[in-house]
Structure formats: C-alpha cells, structure tokens
Amino acid sequence: MPINYDEIMSLKSENIEISYTDKDSILYGLGVGLGNDPMDLEELKYVYENGQIALPSMATNFQYHSSLLMSAKLNFVMVVHGEQKLSIINPIPVSGDFLADMKVLNCFDKGASKGAIIDVETTVKLKSDGTEICKLVSTTFARGDGGFGGPESPSQEIFDPEGSPDMVDEITTKPDQALIFRLSGDYNPLHSDPNFAKAAGFPKPILHGLCTYGVACRSIVKSACENDVKKLKSFNCRFSSPVFPGETIITEMWKKENVINFQSKVKERDKIILKNGVSEIA
C-alpha cells in the first residue's frame, strides 16, 4: 500500500513519559565503548557514578520510546536509518523524568525506484518544569515506498573534504559492542543474530548506526571540545555504510570557527561510514 501523504504528515505523539537512571547512562556509555581503559579518567566519568556525566549522543535513546511510523504501513524490510541530527539546548542529564513530543516533520518522494525520505522530530523536556533539553531529527529512508506523489526532496549541501583534516581520532570497537549497545533500546536482530544478518545480506551482525554515531560523538567531544560535553551544541551526520563490531572507526575533523565538519571511516576497509557530518561547538 503506497504512503498516504496527508496521513503520514498528521502523525504525532505528545507528552510521552520517559524516565531513566544513572545505570541507563552507564549502559549507554559502555555500549559506545567508553571505559575500556579503567585508568582513563576522562572516559571513566561516563561509566562511573562518582561525578558522572552523559555523552550528548545518548539523547538518541529518547527516540526508542515511540512507534510513530509503525502505523504508516511502510515496507520495513527496506527501511534504513538515513541521517541523524541532534541539537542540544541544555546538557543531557544522567538521570531524570522527561516528556517527549514526536511528529513527522517531512515526507519526501524520491520516486518509485528510489523510495521515500521521512523526517521525525523529537523534542525532549524535563517533566518537572518543562525545560527543553534537546531536539532530534531522525531521517528514515524507506527504500520500498517511493512513488506516492509526495513533494520532491530538496537538494542538500554536501560537505566535500578539502586538504588534510585538522584533527583525527581513532577508536576500535569491540566484537561484542552491538550486544551491549542493543540493551539501550534497539533490539533489531540484525545486530545480534548471525542467521538474521545473513538473511539480510550481511556476513555477520552489524553495528547499530546509532552506536557508530555515538563513537563519532566521542571523537568530537574529545578532540574538538577538549572533553567538555557542554561545548557540543549540535551533532549531525548521514549514515553511508555499516560497521562490523571489532572494526576501528577513524573520525576526521575540519574546523572553521565554531563549526566542525567531519566524516568517519572504517580503518580496516577504508570505507566511509558517516558522511556530511557537521557539529556546532561553543
């Protein structure tokens, strides 16, 4: 059944109650590989309750609390996560009670042979007083649902790296990385079940895109923000290729005033996995 444009654009969920504890924040930190060296005090603060802080990319966990697109009757076998954007208004707490509002922001038609692009916006605020914490936009690429007569997607500015990067950071993932990261909310068997992964065309389970996103966020905070999470104001990128747990992720950064353009690649295969990355820092 083709997408009904008016119906999908009307989808929204308001005041979704979400709570998490410091243990959830620690689990997310471990899921993106923080704490591998227990003597590294900069990493320890994400996974130890004494002086604990949250990695900003943990805000993507808020997106797991709504099945907004399930009623859109998409061909979910052909659905992939295309892009992720995060705008940080106030630091992400390590625990708390929150309210989230979610709505379909855009739905673009790339044609019957190319699919559809759907943007879902999530706004997160404190339950206690309504203080806004962050805003996320998750882009779904529904490869099997184009040709419904919706608006065409606008052209996007593409970052094409020129010259050597100003900063480079390298992080090696662990073979069990996806099995840990899935405990933060994404239980898709593509990331845990070898048979399912092979049926989907992969030789083995792949790392979650949002885990790769979190690893790259680690590199930006460490290299461009001097390990100060409060300096990161936005973190946006496009997913271009999967990562296999155990591979090494290299993030290259180009700095221009308070903007960091970045891309990430897998060292072992020299494959770009995140592209068109841009972060604003304080």
State the catalytic residues: 186, 191, 206, 209
- Confirm if 230 and 92 have CB atoms less than 8 A apart: no
- Confirm if 20 and 60 have CB atoms less than 8 A apart: no
Q: How many CB atoms lie within 10 A of CB 234?
A: 17
User: Buried b / exposed e across 120-137, counting CB within 10 Å, b at 16+?
Assistant: bbbbbbeeeeeeebbbbb
